[in-house]
Amino acid sequence: MLDKLMKRGSEFLNVKYPILCGAMTWVSEPKLVSAVSNAGGFGCLAGGNAPTDILKSQIEEVKRLTPNSFAVNLITIAPAYLSHLEMLKEVKVPFIIFAGSFPKEKEIEIAKSTGAKVLCFASTESIAERMIRFGADGIILEGSEAGGHIGHVSTMVLLQQVLYKFHDKVPIFIAGGIATGRMVAHIMNMGAAGVQLGTRFVMTEESNVHPKFKEAFMRANARDAISTPQYDSKLPVVAVRALRNKGTADFGALQLKLLKELNDGLIHRQQAQEEVEKYWIGALRRAAIDGDTDYGSLMAGQSVGLVDKVVPVKELIRELRVDAEAELNRIKANLN
């Protein structure tokens, strides 16, 4: 039954299983990406803020490590974004995923002109409609339960608002809060073409993150993965979901200090905004690579509360498939 439900996504992505490993900066590098693709899933290489020559060499490394399908994820607000897009005209990849913000129609056209299929993120119904109108071949529908940069609407609501409305137009892959095969079964049964997981792939043997990063994930509960607070619209803060730590507390204190200085006329708004944005620069690398779990950014989805072990990528994908098939059989038995 699962193979039947996965057929559309598998054929679209040209993989055995439409199980995507989300593109996570400092995490989704060639070793993990190729391991996912070699295990029958779909690896996504994180472009992030990488210099263009570094991203190019990483793409070439992925191609050496796997003959299978994969994607390159481009961050539309990254300094080298347009350079990344230009480079992909010569370094061909099968899929390009736009993330960070939302690409312009012309940028999607450029990506498709390279021969790649294009996936775009959506966190609302209107964004999904716009990306489809602009020419996206598929949508990754991400709920606010996800880790890292997020929207404000839960996966549960987006399934009803967007998946049910658009799944017959383009393949839609669901992300945010997914950690078990049982949930995969239900999402596929709703009409999704596949699923994307991030937090669970962090907790694999092939993930290169610091051991302390994985230990923090193992200890965490779902409620520990919080969205960055914003105390006043005068000082906008981009929503990022990460584990609460000392850095989170200090960031809150910084906002309150800057807001008081703004109200007292001691600081200009632009200067205050620069202080806010500067705070987290390099914080993800400090946590994921250097192991600073106190003050680094421990980006994690709420599904971290369902993770308690580190497993090989191949074992994770097998577990998801086996548990999803078992759940479909249970549903069928209940309906008979």
In this prediction, residue 100 has a pLDDT band, given cuts at 50, 70 and 90, of: confident
Residues 248 and 124 grouped into a single domain? no
DSSP letter string over 200-233? HHHTBTT--S-HHHHHHHHH--GGGEEEPP---T
Cα–Cα distance measured from residue 205 to residue 29, given in angstroms and rounded to the nearest whole number: 13
pLDDT of residue 289 exceeding 90: yes
pTM here?
Answer: 0.95
pLDDT of residue 4 exceeding 90: yes
Mean pLDDT of 6-20: 98
Residues 86 and 149 grouped into a single domain? yes
In percent, how much of the chain has pLDDT > 70? 100
In this prediction, residue 253 has a pLDDT band, given cuts at 50, 70 and 90, of: very high
Buried b (16+ CB within 10 A) or exposed e, 240-249: bbbbebebbe
Task: Give the model confidence (pLDDT) of 152-176 as tens digits.
Answer: 999 999 999 999 999 999 999 999 9
Q: Where are the beta strands (DSSP E) in the chain?
A: 19-21, 42-46, 70-75, 95-99, 117-122, 138-142, 148-149, 172-175, 194-197, 225-227, 240-243
Residues 171 and 97 grouped into a single domain? yes
Residues 173 and 267 grouped into a single domain? no
In this prediction, residue 294 has a pLDDT band, given cuts at 50, 70 and 90, of: very high
How far is C-alpha 151 from the chain's CA centre? 12
Give the per-residue pLDDT at 241.
Answer: 96
Task: Find the domain containing 238 and state its range.
Answer: 221-299
Task: Give the model confidence (pLDDT) of 56-89 as tens digits.
Answer: 999 999 999 999 999 999 999 899 999 999 999 9
For tokens 């708004």, name the residue. Answer: 269
Residues 30 and 163 grouped into a single domain? yes
pLDDT of residue 336 exceeding 90: no
Mean pLDDT of 216-233: 95
DSSP annotation of 49: T
Give the per-residue pLDDT at 65.
Answer: 98
Give the per-residue pLDDT at 281.
Answer: 87
In a domain, 172, yes or no: yes
Mean pLDDT of 304-328: 97
Mean pLDDT of 91-103: 95
Give the per-residue pLDDT at 166.
Answer: 96
The structure tokens listed for 285 are: 């690398």
Residues 182 and 122 grouped into a single domain? yes
For residue 93, the domain's CATH number is 3.20.20.70
Residues 310 and 248 grouped into a single domain? no
Residues 294 and 310 grouped into a single domain? no
In a domain, 216, yes or no: no
Residues 132 and 256 grouped into a single domain? no
**CA-angle at 50, arms to 244 and 171, nearest 5°:** 75
In a domain, 215, yes or no: no
CA proximity to 271, closest of 233, 227, 234: 234
Residues 291 and 321 grouped into a single domain? no
pLDDT of residue 32 exceeding 90: yes
In a domain, 74, yes or no: yes
Residues 113 and 189 grouped into a single domain? yes
In this prediction, residue 109 has a pLDDT band, given cuts at 50, 70 and 90, of: very high
In a domain, 214, yes or no: no
Task: Give the model confidence (pLDDT) of 180-209 as tens digits.
Answer: 999 999 999 999 999 999 999 999 999 999
In a domain, 197, yes or no: yes
Helices 269-279 and 246-263, interaxial angle, to 10°? 180
Cα–Cα distance measured from residue 296 to residue 42, given in angstroms and rounded to the nearest whole number: 28
In this prediction, residue 101 has a pLDDT band, given cuts at 50, 70 and 90, of: confident
Query: What's the domain count of the chain?
Result: 2
Residues 127 and 270 grouped into a single domain? no
Cα–Cα distance measured from residue 123 to residue 201, given in angstroms and rounded to the nearest whole number: 22
